[in-house]
Structure 1
Amino acid sequence: MELTLLGTGAPAGLPRPGCPCAACATAVGADARAATALLVDDVLLLDLTPGPALAAARAGRTLHGVRQLLLSHPHDGPAQEVPPGLPAPVRVADGRRLTLISGHRVRAVALDAPGTGYEIGGPDGERLLYLPPGAGPAGLPGSPLREGAPGAPYAPAAPYSLVLLDVLGRPDALARLRAAGAVGPTTDVLAVHIDHGVPPGPELRRRLAAAGARTVPDGTTAVVGDYRAVPDLPRRTLVLGGARSGKSAEAERRLAAFPGVLYVATGGTRDGDAEWADRVAAHRSRRPASWRTAETCDLVPLLTAPDAPPLLIDCLSLWLTDAMDSAGCWDEDRRRSGEAARALAGRTAELVAAFRAATRTVVAVSNEVGSGVVPATAAGRLFRDELGRLNAAVAAECEHVLLVTAGTALPLRG
């Protein structure tokens, strides 16, 4: 089954007409995208892009053989252009199945947002799933059927060869597809409906790769089932950054497309501290509802747990605070005798060894504090030095290390 992407952008395209934002200003050349539309084996057209006949011609295809034109989502604005000779566009009712004379099998998938998804089976047995912008299949865990949507909960028979969806807008939908078995290790995940929320080019590719997805320019033709170079996701990632740099948001974004994430908060609770409670609430509100949360500094058993879902640790600097308290680093006698340093070194070595032995996906957050003013107190300087050593030791065990500054992630390794 051959698939040509006549467009890969959001319904308004990229750049958006008249939009002065930085993402739109840099969306030129191969980074410019028309509204998403897919041509399957030259006989089935999913959605319309402006000037579809010209878009097909630029891709070296023709629309003359199209026998079915399916729409996936409501369209605002002017009526869509339907080139002469194409069949009238239709939306298929949820759950309905179509068999085309070409041998393609279509099933309409109910969604948790307005619109219809389509499961396409080709004559060669390959299967793909196409979802409209801002939508995921209804009935997946954490995604109940929308009001009035008929049909049983979505249950794929096996992983698809190819899934096309709004990865950036609905990473939780991708996570639920993974949890349901619709996306497997060799499923090619293509991001479509790309809008101006993420700058095009390297940053777009980096964010998609972290979700196990990729994108292609408009006009690309792919053979469903042939692509096997799925992005290699790092097992261990360390995200560094200063205060309010965006490091926690970056770490959370890296796991938003994966199911069953365990979020480990090392800061715990602080009775009577309303400001701290507000910080914790803001963090929780950002996380997907399907994530679990543990408040603990006992990280070694979590890191070394076998066959476990992804782990997000936020953050190592608070873990170090607890470790230094436990080691008695603020006790003058223990510090002078060297007992505190030995106790802290032992606990740090255990943590680093656990990172080395981890088989689950781990994203850890830590503060980068060595670039600012030298602390005025001996205790502050000791903490700064120990955190620098801890960050360096953990980074040595991670395949991917990022530094986040001003909301921008800079890869240091990987």
Structure 2
Amino acid sequence: MDIELRAFAGPRGWPATGCVCASCNRLRLAGIRHEPASVVIDGVPLEDCARVRVPGGHDVTGAGGGRALVASGPGAAPEPAAGVEYDAVLLDLAGSPEHLGRLRHVGAATPKTEVMAVHVDHRISSPAELERRMAFWERPQGGPSRTLLLGGTRSGKSAEAELRLAACPDVTYVATGLARDDDPEWNARIAAHRGRRPAWWRTVETTDLPGALAAATGAVLVDGIGTWLTAAIDEAGAWDDPSRVRPRLEEVVAAWRGTRARVVAVSDEVGLSLVPATPSGRAFRDLLGHLNQRLAAESEEAALVVAGRVMDLP
């Protein structure tokens, strides 16, 4: 199936006329404009191809017999036909990258399926950011691969982790922060994270992180290392004697090094805040800081997330 994507922007183009948002203005200042999506399939404009309307878009058949699933516009998530493995999918990846994950989950998109982003607009910050994300979504789904994402409170590190794995067909979410009967605010945070995740992701709530990493296959998101360390210190009774928990840290590092999965883990960057006022606080900071260093050393990728922006660490 020969697909020519002549333009890929949303109906208003990018930048949108009259819009003064940072995304549109960034392109405008650079003298760049992307026109509304225009697609040619096997030499025929998309609107002239044989196609069937489906919820959220069209099921298109090219002149050579290939099949493509095409989103109708921004926010649209086209439904695949039952039992069809598409040669190409043209999706609103700026708005709904998890839809690609769902198509892969149900078998409509396979490793052979060509993936293209259409209806791109100012919901994403720049073409470079789209390219960065596409690199995650198009890479092979298996492992081994390890990514450590560091950041402070409300930095956007968890959202970045979810974004990186959004297009995977199956994801195991290892939640190390367990619900607490006496802490409704903490439970509300857990519920908010659950509500963001695609319905087909599997959630495992455990403090046995080494065991979860050893058993993991496919794609795994660990959120997060800091909450796991808190539980490990509690279980070891190590707040007054940090040496008691160090064997657990060695187990985690060994499991991280030996995993066969594609793992993205979230951890707290503790080196930029004030020195904790208590001995236990300082012990936690030191333990997590050293653990972050060791996990980063065993990772193919590491990044720091600040105010929702990502800085790759060499």
TM value normalised by structure 1: 0.70
**Per-residue displacement from partner, 1:59-107 (whole Å, max 9, x unpaired)?**
xxxxxxxxx3x6xxxxxxxxxxxxxxxxxxxxxxxxxxxxxxxxxxx44
In structure 2, the partner of 1:324 is 233
CA contact (8 A) 1:109 1:154 kept: no
In structure 2, the partner of 1:4 is 4
Shift of 1:155: 2.1
Shift of 1:190: 1.3
Name the CA distance, whole Å, in 2 between partners of 1:278 and 1:326: 24
Correspondence 1:187 to 2:127: no
In structure 2, the partner of 1:129 is 69
Shift of 1:183: 2.2
CA contact (8 A) 1:239 1:363 kept: yes
Name the CA distance, whole Å, in 2 between partners of 1:233 and 1:171: 20
Correspondence 1:168 to 2:77: no
Shift of 1:281: 1.9
Is there any run of 5+ residues in structure 1 with no aligned partner, and where?
A: 48-67, 71-105, 141-152, 214-229
Correspondence 1:273 to 2:177: no
Correspondence 1:237 to 2:147: yes
CA contact (8 A) 1:8 1:194 kept: yes
**Per-residue displacement from partner, 1:279-320 (whole Å, max 9, x unpaired)?**
1222222112222222211122221226x2321111100111
Aligned sequence identity (%): 46
What amino acid does structure 1 have at the position aligned with 2:313?
L
Matched residues, number: 312
Match of 2:282 among 355, 376, 381: 381
Correspondence 1:295 to 2:205: yes
In structure 2, the partner of 1:205 is 131
Report 1:244-259 matches (<5 A): 244-259=154-169
Correspondence 1:408 to 2:309: yes
Correspondence 1:118 to 2:59: yes
Shift of 1:386: 0.5
Name the CA distance, whole Å, in 1 between partners of 2:9 and 2:143: 25
CA contact (8 A) 2:304 2:313 kept: yes
CA contact (8 A) 1:236 1:398 kept: yes
CA contact (8 A) 1:300 1:354 kept: yes
Indicate the SS of the match to 1:27.
Answer: helix
**Per-residue displacement from partner, 1:156-205 (whole Å, max 9, x unpaired)?**
1x352x32211121222201211122322243311111010111133221
Shift of 1:379: 1.1
Structure holding more helix per residue: 2
In structure 2, the partner of 1:365 is 266
Q: Bigger radius of gyration, 1 or 2?
A: 1
Is there any run of 5+ residues in structure 2 with no aligned partner, and where?
A: none
Shift of 1:21: 0.5
In structure 2, the partner of 1:392 is 293
Name the CA distance, whole Å, in 1 between partners of 2:69 and 2:76: 12
In structure 2, the partner of 1:25 is 25
Report the CA distance shift for 1:4/1:394 in structure 2 as closer, same or farther (over 3 A).
same
Report the CA distance shift for 1:187/1:381 in structure 2 as closer, same or farther (over 3 A).
same
